[in-house]
Structure 1
């Protein structure tokens, strides 16, 4: 498992949030969000969907953990925010791990990711969230990316 270093730009997002224990509810939210994206004609070959676990369950009670399903918006795109919220994500350097898009592979990656960061001598930037990144190309090839903010 080797990370590629990428400078991810700051961006504007539309998102839906789920509050509660991480797990199946996150997947259900992502499916609901993807339906919203498609119904608003926002899904195309350049779309970037993100999953963001906002809280570390080691420090935040499970019932208070926040998970956001997000779409990176074009700079000039207007979104009616009745069904979604709008925000910005700070850009910066990330260690990007490309993995199989299965629950097992994602779980396995989370158990190894910190050791891998340490072995490659990366310092975690705890001021920015981890990103699960999905593009059409990745999804069509059964992959996703875990993007870890580093200093």
Structure 2
């Protein structure tokens, strides 16, 4: 699992939200986003898709956890189906992970221990998975966590 520290700009996003326990059901929300984006002809070689975990499972009841499947969109983008919002930027540590269920599960289980070993403190803001066309072609994605 490779990692890098990156300053990420604030993203303007179009998104679909699911409320409930994180896990396999998030896949359906992501599929809905991808189908909508394809129908709207919004997917290009430079598209960035995000899977945003809005809540900390240690402090939020699983039934109340919010997951947003999002597409980074231009400042002037408007739509009647998708919600529009922002994902605030900042200093993130980004882990490149093989995009398989097994690798993702292991990464999420190991990352916070790894951050502790590195002496890094995390901010209490949403974490997200970032998918770019380039990474997906190689069957990878990034897990991005805001750090202090």
> TM-score, normalised on structure 2?
0.95
The question of whether the paired residues in 2 share the 8 Å contact of 1:2 and 1:116 is answered with: no
1:97-136: per-residue Cα shift (whole Å, max 9, x none)?
000001111110111101211222211011x211100011
The residue number in structure 2 matching 1:78 is: 77
In structure 2, which of residues 99, 112, 130 is the aligned counterpart of residue 114 of structure 1?
A: 112
**Structure 2 regions of 5+ residues with no counterpart?**
none
The question of whether the paired residues in 1 share the 8 Å contact of 2:16 and 2:69 is answered with: yes
* Alpha-carbon distance between aligned partners in 1 of 2:121 and 2:61, rounded to the nearest angstrom: 26
Residue 2 (structure 1) shift: 4.2
* Alpha-carbon distance between aligned partners in 2 of 1:2 and 1:125, rounded to the nearest angstrom: 21
The number of aligned residues is 148
- Measured on the aligned residues, the alpha-carbon RMSD in Å equals 1.1
2:20 equivalent to 1:3? no
* Alpha-carbon distance between aligned partners in 2 of 1:58 and 1:89, rounded to the nearest angstrom: 21
The residue number in structure 2 matching 1:33 is: 33
1:30-71: per-residue Cα shift (whole Å, max 9, x none)?
011100011111100110000011112222111111100001
Q: 5 Å matches for 1:1-150?
A: 1-75=1-75, 77-80=76-79, 82-126=80-124, 128-150=125-147
